[in-house]
Amino acid sequence: MSATAKAPPTAIGILGAAGRMGQMIAREILGRSSEARLSACVDHAKSWALGKDIGDILGLGPCGIKVTADKDAAFANSEVLIDFTSPEAAKDHAALAIKHHRALVIGTTGLSAADKAAIEAAAGEVPVLQSANMSLGVNVLLTLVERVAATLGVDYDIEIFEAHHRHKADAPSGTALILADAAAKGRGISRDKAMLPPRHGQTGARPPGGIGMSVFRGGDVVGDHTVTFAGIGERLELSHRASDRALFAKGAVKAALWLAGKPPKLYGMKDVLGL
Ligand code: NAD
């Protein structure tokens, strides 16, 4: 290719294409045709969307890519796959990324230790980017939370509040958990040691040094997160509110374009954003 020739668009396949996020990601890829090409749309074998053209599902008219359950073909035809499915599926997709030697972006949350181990195993052989939140704002917030936790110390109680729509399947959100990781890191401890149990009934006084978490589910809330540092006489609150999940779709496609051709490793959104 000459120095002036433009690179061909990156072939990106979507895993969970019929879901809320999958549809947003398909729309984003179709709208970025100079850089990205939609190469496959996969969903569950029992999905209502199987056999339908994703362009028709989005109300854009047919684009020639039908939703399929054929994962091997989707991996074979794509350079990068983006997964927004379920934890069990994400684990299987990590194994398929190894089998087909393809880059994989994972946005699915609620991952267990076993799911994370499968993802780390894949990252030993292919480039994998996993992030519970693909937005620029939340990734900046993570850096701020770590710094504030380190500065204020244990005299300030840390409480994390998160709110999401009524359909969300996991709690606390993956974002709330990585915010807790950042706060714990700022204090030089592990999240497992710092997390306080859910509150109900006779809880007694709040132990010092712990990180509390509370969860709201309802309506169509896209995603709110607030980390409060509560001291004696003052409270410092750091908040992020997502108002459109297209934000996460843009981040996921940006991550996929960035990941194509990278060496095998487990990357995060901070790598993409240069934070
Ligand atoms: P959703 O339920 O609307 O969509 C999930 C889709 O995955 C569905 O179409 C479902 O049929 C499909 N699916 C499930 N199991 C599958 C399998 N085995 N094989 C193929 N497809 C399968 O959910 P959503 O709101 O789109 O969210 C999906 C995931 O993304 C959740 O874990 C959510 O928390 C997470 N999420 C992450 C971010 C981020 O920035 N990282 C942002 C929003 C949502």
CA of 156 to the centre of ligand 1 (A): 36
CA of 21 to the centre of ligand 1 (A): 6
Among the residues of the chain, which ranges form H helices? 20-30, 54-57, 71-76, 87-100, 113-123, 136-152, 174-186, 191-194, 246-259, 269-273
- Most informative mutation of 14, 54, 71, 109 for ligand 1 (most atoms within 8 A of CB): 109
Ligand 1 atom with the smallest distance to the CA of 24 is 26
Q: How confident is the model at residue 275, as a pLDDT? A: 85
pLDDT in tens, 1-11: 555 678 899 99
Question: pLDDT digits over 20-43, tens only?
Answer: 999 999 999 999 999 999 999 999
> Candidates 47, 72, 86, 135: which one to mutate for ligand 1, based on the most atoms within 8 Å of Cβ?
86
Tell me the best of 14, 15, 20, 21 to mutate to test the pocket of ligand 1, counting ligand atoms within 8 Å of each CB and taking the most.
21
- Whether residue 142 contacts residue 184, with contact meaning beta carbons closer than 8 Å, is answered with no
Provide φ and ψ at 241, rounded to 5°. Answer: -130, 120
pLDDT at 228: 98
What's the pLDDT score for residue 4?
66
Do residues 13 and 77 make contact, with C-beta atoms less than 8 angstroms apart?
A: yes
| Strand, helix or coil for residue 219 | coil
State the pLDDT at residue 263: 98
What residue ranges line ligand 1, CB within 6 angstroms? 15-16, 18-22, 42-44, 47, 84-86, 89, 107-110, 131-134, 245, 248
pLDDT higher than threshold 80 for residue 236: yes
Q: How many CA atoms lie within 13 A of 147 on its CB side?
A: 6
Q: How close is the Cα of 108 to the center of ligand 1, in Å?
A: 6
Q: Supply 221's token pair.
A: 């809330």
Tens of pLDDT, residues 83-138? 999 999 999 999 999 999 999 999 999 999 999 999 999 999 999 999 999 999 99
Atom from ligand 1 closest to the CA of residue 69: 20
Q: Report how far ligand 1's centroid is from the alpha carbon of 33 (Å).
A: 24
Quote the mean pLDDT of the chain. 96
Centre of ligand 1 from the C-alpha of residue 140, in Å: 24
Whose CA is closest to atom 31 on ligand 1? 108
pLDDT in tens, 58-81: 999 999 999 999 999 999 999 999
pLDDT, position 225: 98
What is the per-residue pLDDT across 146-190, written as a single tens digit (0 to 9) for each? 999 999 989 999 999 999 999 999 999 999 999 999 999 999 999
What are the distances in angstroms from CA 143 to CA 85, 108, 185, 218?
27, 22, 10, 28
CB 176 within 8 A of CB 170: no
* Residues with catalytic function: 164, 168
Name the pTM for this structure. Answer: 0.93
Nearest CA to ligand 1 atom 17: 44
